[in-house]
């Protein structure tokens, strides 16, 4: 069946598409860094933080439903710490906040009672 589809021309672009995908850069980290830095530098960048804070609160609340203690939690792409600010020392021993943008990482709100490692990802 595969050879029939190939012979009829249906699969002609598949191998070429695979070759193109392996060569192209799908996720440009430097472009993403520039985008996040520009967003962090805007004077009204915190206007919609209340929405992200709400999402962070709900995610942290769901984590509290898991009845165990976490020794190490990683907040990957933490932004301004929308999830981290709702993490409690009752459930987490150590929190690692990772962010591509150093400006966003510097603006991050984090709980004071947890050991925190701030990591620049780039």
Q: Domains of the chain, with CATH numbers? A: 2-120 (3.40.50)
Contacts of residue 104, Cβ cutoff 8 Å, sequence gap at least 6: 36, 37, 39, 40, 78, 79, 80
- The pLDDT tens digits for 64-83 are 898 899 998 888 888 999 99
- The pLDDT tens digits for 4-27 are 544 545 445 545 555 445 566 777
pTM strictly above 0.85 = no
Beta bridge partners of 115: 94
């Amino acid at each position: 069946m595969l050879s029939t589809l190939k012979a009829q021309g249906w699969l002609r672009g598949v191998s070429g598409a695979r070759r193109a995908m392996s060569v192209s850069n799908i996720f440009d980290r430097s472009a993403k860094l520039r985008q996040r830095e520009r967003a962090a530098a805007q004077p009204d960048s915190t206007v919609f933080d209340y929405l992200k804070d709400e999402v962070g609160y709900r995610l942290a609340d769901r984590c509290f439903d898991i009845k165990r203690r976490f020794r190490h939690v990683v907040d990957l792409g933490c932004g301004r710490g929308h999830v981290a600010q709702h993490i409690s020392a009752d459930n987490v021993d150590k929190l690692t906040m990772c962010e591509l943008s150093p400006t966003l990482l510097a603006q991050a709100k984090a709980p004071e009672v947890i050991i925190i490692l701030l990591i620049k990802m780039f």
